Amino acid sequence: MSLDTYAPSLDYTPTKPSSVLFQGDIPAAVQRQIVEFSDFHLKGVDFARTTGQRLALKEASVSRRPEDAKLQSRLVYELTVAQDMTNRQHTLHGGCTAFLVDVCSSVGLAFLAMVQGKPSDFVSQTMITTYHAPAPVGAKLNIVSTTTSFGARTVASRIEVWDVTHHRLCVSGVHNKMAPKMPTPTPQNAKL
């Protein structure tokens, strides 16, 4: 599915590409495309809308990894923990954390696909989330998404959620995704 087929709800203020620090050889069209893609997936949907609308894309870069010279993307989102994101201990809820790991890594993988002119549709295979420290209400978070693998069939990203207010790593995660494949129709006369 191309970005042209999306019909995002515009009941939010769109992010301006000029508010994002882009680093690397990223054409202006791709800069605009990833900002629109991020807004659509984070701000234009009903699930976790208030959290998604508060996520601010601050940095987006593409570079060659020194170890193997492969392209990788890195995105940094910023968010302050609000009451509607918390558990009974008034810290970031595990379900909200899983949402952040999912969407921030997904946008990072789509960004790398866009830069390379490849399809950007993926579905989740696995998502591993490790909790290190709580993030209380009011804590400012940086969510850092770095792609680790971008193959023909599967892609992967790692995520770190940093509490910059209290100077600690709260969550780390790994998200593996694959290109979707529609099921093959079963013939009407098939027998089991």
> How sure is the predictor about 150, in pLDDT bands with cuts at 50, 70 and 90?
very high
Question: Average pLDDT in the 133-161 region?
Answer: 96
- Residue 1 confidence (pLDDT): 39
Q: How confident is the model at residue 41 (pLDDT cuts 50, 70, 90)?
A: low
How far apart are alpha carbons 52 and 38 in whole angstroms?
Answer: 9
Can you tell me the mean pLDDT for 118-145? 94
Whole-angstrom Cα distance, residue 168 to residue 8?
A: 35
Give 23 or 1, the one with higher predicted confidence: 23
The confidence score (pLDDT) of residue 191 equals 63
What integer pLDDT is reported at residue 7 of this predicted model?
47
102 pLDDT above the threshold of 80: yes
Q: In degrees, to the nearest 5, what angle opens at C-alpha 44 toward C-alphas 157 and 99? A: 35
pLDDT of residue 190: 60
Residue 187 in this model has a pLDDT that exceeds 50: yes
Banded model confidence at residue 107, pLDDT cuts 50, 70, 90: very high
Structure tokens belonging to residue 135:
């993030």
Distance CA 92, CA 69 (A): 36
Would you list the domain boundaries of the chain? Answer: 22-178
Please compute the mean of the pLDDT values over residues 90-118 and round it to a whole number.
93
For domain 22-178, give the fold.
Thiol Ester Dehydrase; Chain A (3.10.129)
pTM: 0.79
Give the Cα separation of 159 and 146 in Å (integer). 6
Above 60 in pLDDT, residue 172?
Answer: yes
Q: Find the mean pLDDT for residues 101-121.
A: 92
Per-residue pLDDT band for 12 (boundaries 50, 70, 90) equals low
